[in-house]
Amino acid sequence: MQSEMQLLKRYDSVLERIQTACLKSGRKTDDVKLLAVTKYALAQDIYTLLTNRKVPFIAESRLQESLIKWGQPPLSALKPIKFFIGQLQSNKIAKILTDFDIICSIDSLKLAQRINTQSEKLAKAATCLLQIKLTQKQTQGGVSMGEAAKLIADIRQQCPAVKLAGIMAIAPQTGDAEQLRPLFKEVKKFFDDNFEQDAYLSLGMSEDFEVAVQEGSNLPRIGSAIFG
């Protein structure tokens, strides 16, 4: 556990940096929501943050760990809107659908069809983001930008219970966020061509969220810059 004050200060400073990035690029600060990534954070720290600040959304990537963490006190008393940002395994989809509000990592028609089937069983529409792959890393999920438009069309046509609500992408680690600007611009253009303005464009993490927000991200996902 860390001092509550340090934690809240780091959170406030991330919010300020988002606001500054909005001002610099002429965007309304209200249009950008912070997705607090709690996957590595201690339950007590998450509790402190959520009970002291209006945190709109949280994100987890590991199903089992998150079920345990959020299923017992103190976090079981809180009901934030939860995003699943991990890679999807088809045998866990029913559980993820039950426990999470938004799934951020659809990257194939097969997964979308599985989600569609489970959603229909649960009689609950599945709000999902399409994960676009921006790196060459074998282990990283996502569909390439070249294949994404076709996948979006297929999902919209074949998976009525899947509500595609936007895009999520993880940028390559460069050590210099400025280098990512052209890539973020490219994703924003793709987003504009394929989604309504009020859809989610989730770009940017602790290392690169200011550039991502300047280039149009409306849902930066931030873990370590908040929780250390």
Stretch that binds ligand PLP, among 158-166, 180-188, 193-201, 220-228 (CB under 6 A): 220-228
Stretch that binds ligand PLP, among 62-70, 89-97, 119-127, 199-207 (CB under 6 A): 199-207
User: Residue 81 or 225: which CB sits closer to ligand PLP?
Assistant: 225
Q: Is 169 in the site for ligand PLP (CB under 6 A)?
A: no
Q: Is 222 in the site for ligand PLP (CB under 6 A)?
A: yes
Structure tokens at 82: 């939860």
Q: Is 69 in the site for ligand PLP (CB under 6 A)?
A: no
Residue 57 CA to residue 80 CA, distance in Å, equals 6
Total binding residues toward ligand PLP, as defined by CB under 6 A: 13
User: Residue 118 or 217: which CB sits closer to ligand PLP?
Assistant: 217
Binding residue for ligand PLP, selected from 32, 46, 85, 130, defined by CB under 6 A: 85
Stretch that binds ligand PLP, among 7-15, 70-78, 115-123, 203-211 (CB under 6 A): 203-211
User: Residue 85 or 162: which CB sits closer to ligand PLP?
Assistant: 85
Binding residue for ligand PLP, selected from 106, 170, 171, 177, defined by CB under 6 A: 170
User: Residue 20 or 206: which CB sits closer to ligand PLP?
Assistant: 206
Residue 77 CA to residue 24 CA, distance in Å, equals 38
Q: Are 118 and 112 in contact (CB under 8 A)?
A: no
Stretch that binds ligand PLP, among 65-73, 106-114, 121-129, 200-208 (CB under 6 A): 200-208
Residue whose structure tokens are 């600007």: 181
In the complex, the residues that contact ligand PLP under the rule CB under 6 A are 37, 39, 61, 85, 170, 205-207, 221-225
